[in-house]
Amino acid sequence: DQQVKQNSPSLSVQEGRISILNCDYTNSMFDYFLWYKKYPAEGPTFLISISSIKDKNEDGRFTVFLNKSAKHLSLHIVPSQPGDSAVYFCAASDNTNAGKSTFGDGTTLTVKP
Amino acid sequence: DGGITQSPKYLFRKEGQNVTLSCEQNLNHDAMYWYRQDPGQGLRLIYYSQIVNDFQKGDIAEGYSVSREKKESFPLTVTSAQKNPTAFYLCASRSGQSYEQYFGPGTRLTVT
């Protein structure tokens, strides 16, 4: 049973518009959530995170929203830029589990000029 | 420059051979992880280590082995018992102060 799900394998948006990437989780023990960005043939890089005690965290063009009751989080990128085109992974962790993260399958974002 | 290095970037082996993937970090991180990524899928945890001389199995440890003799190094051996070894392998490390993981550039292993 997949505990972290990214139901949209791909997303295409126009440059300058908003990109919204979604992630759902099933394990209520998760208390920390992260987004990573990955280019082909490279390792993922950390983008932004949120603790379960918050419902929003913002860093420049990137904002993560957490809805604990729905077990849902989303990453908003505004405005989207062609350089944002990459695979975005959602990950979830809990402090009882040795800092391990469970990853979703990723969403490929394409930003068209 | 601090970071994680993995070598080589591409590795080719014949079926039946064991192969060891290198992972080194100079971030002074205690925890290290090995993941496998297959096309269209997320990262699946193979093994992890929280301190030197200690490691635990992840979700897909069968056919793999690791060692953690030094804080900086966490090599992964893909044995001949691994049924589908062809994949992209990623090593990561983490400071004890946060959940964020730092990843290496990955090794693409092809077994024929």
Q: Between A43, A46, A98, which is nearest B48 by CB?
A: A98
Measure B67 CA to nearest chain A CA, in Å: 18
CB of A9 less than 8 A from some CB of B: yes
pLDDT by residue for chain A (113 residues), tens digit each? 789 999 999 999 999 999 999 999 999 999 999 999 999 888 999 999 999 999 999 999 999 999 999 999 999 999 999 999 999 999 999 877 667 899 999 999 999 99
Q: What is the dihedral of CA A10, A14, A19, A24, to 10 degrees?
A: -20
Residue B64 has pLDDT above 90, yes or no: yes
Residue B21 has pLDDT above 80, yes or no: yes
Instruction: Give the pLDDT confidence score for residue A97 in this predicted structure.
Output: 67
Look-up of token digits 């992840």: B58
Measure B40 CA to nearest chain A CA, in Å: 7
Residue B86 has pLDDT above 70, yes or no: yes
Cβ–Cβ below 8 Å for B102 and A99:
no
Q: What angle do CA B94, A80, A48 make, to 5 degrees?
A: 20
Supply φ then ψ for residue A89, to 5 degrees. Answer: -110, 135
Cβ–Cβ below 8 Å for A100 and B33:
yes
CB of B102 less than 8 A from some CB of A: yes
CB of B32 less than 8 A from some CB of A: no
Instruction: Give the pLDDT confidence score for residue B1 in this predicted structure.
Output: 62
Q: What is the dihedral of CA B53, B56, B61, B63, to 10 degrees?
A: 30
Instruction: Give the pLDDT confidence score for residue B39 in this predicted structure.
Output: 85
Q: Between B35, B41, B106, which is nearest A42 by CB?
A: B106
Q: Is the CB of residue A102 less than 8 Å from the CB of residue A90?
A: no
